[in-house]
Amino acid sequence: MSLTPKVAVVTGATSGIGLAVTRALAACGHQVFLCARTARTVAATVRELQAEALDVDGTAGDVRDRDDIRRVVRHAVDRFGTVDVLVNNAGRCGGGSTAELTDEMWFDVLDTNLNSVFLMTREVLTAGGMRDKKRGRIINIASTDGTRDDVLGTPYSASKHGVIGFTKALANELAPTGITVNAVCPGHVETPTARRIRREYAAAYGIGEEAALKTFRSKIPLGRYSTPAEVAGLVGYLTTDTAASITAQTLNVCGGLGTS
């Protein structure tokens, strides 16, 4: 694969998929600026990755907050220069019986998973300098639930369907500029969030966590969860020069789950 090292920004980058993506991009030679909500966790992650001789930095930022987004992108540009790669990874799960959902739950899931993708993308295109280049990569972490249903997860499913729609529309808008936009859709990935989802599922259906895990695995043709590194591998490929003609795509990393 042909790869020209660039400046990347990754949101939600201190655990799970976001951390794996940050590590993978930096290992390929990108300068990576990361953000997440908790300053202490961001600082610890930066120290950990710098100890691995990776060129990373970061700052705390809440992707639901416009001022925080502006600050994160400004710091990224000040530290490494204008942005070439944006990975919108920050997100949250959430759901339950739709009739019992609170306004707070619904709007927080949409703000975190969908509205943040628009806000961060707009800021990177403008203040981040991406739209003035002849090359760029915007990669949105969606979900197989963005193309399928998610029982007891209407806010999450709605948000991820929205991310995919945003991705396709923006990709066609930006195609003449050389900026590509794609959605990577993980299925079940072994992360702290996945473990929390299994606990919530077990509680909702009155079963044990091992039974919940068995239920989830039974729906995956490969019979196992994907790993964060496997998702990061696809994200990394999409940043390469070789992937320059891939845009407006919804690409699954799911062990076959998204086709069942």
Whole-number pLDDT of residue 259: 63
CATH of the domain at 246: 3.40.50.720
DSSP conformation class of 239: T
Could you give the CA distance from residue 159 to residue 133 in angstroms, rounded to a whole number?
29
- Mean pLDDT of the chain, nearest integer: 95
- Tens digits of residue pLDDT in 125-167: 999 999 999 899 999 999 999 998 777 899 999 999 999 999 9
Per-residue pLDDT tens over the stretch 93-127: 988 899 999 999 999 999 999 999 999 999 999 99
Nearest to 111 by CA among 97, 132, 85, 92: 92
- On whether both 82 and 149 belong to a single domain, the answer is yes
* Catalytic residue IDs: 156
Total of domains in the chain: 2
Q: Does 2 reside within a domain?
A: no
Residue 74 counted as domain residue: yes
Q: Are residues 14 and 104 in the same domain?
A: yes
Q: Residue 199: which domain range?
A: 190-225
- What is the H or E stretch that residue 151 is in? none
Q: Do residue 219 and residue 142 come from a single domain? A: no
Within the chain, strands assigned E span 7-11, 31-36, 56-60, 85-88, 136-141, 179-186, 250-253
Stated pTM of the model: 0.95
The pLDDT of residue 258: 78
- Gap between the Cα atoms of 8 and 192, Å rounded: 24
205-226 confidence digits (pLDDT tens): 899 999 999 999 999 999 999 9
What is the full DSSP assignment across 184-210? Answer: EEE-SB-SHHHHHHHHHHHHHHT--HH
Res 1: pLDDT? 65
Are 97 and 207 contained in the same domain? no
**64-98 confidence digits (pLDDT tens):** 999 999 999 999 999 999 999 999 999 999 888 99
Same domain for 197 and 183: no
Tokens matching residue 176: 């003449």
Q: Which of 235, 258, 233 is nearest to 89 (CA)?
A: 235
Same domain, 177 and 215: no
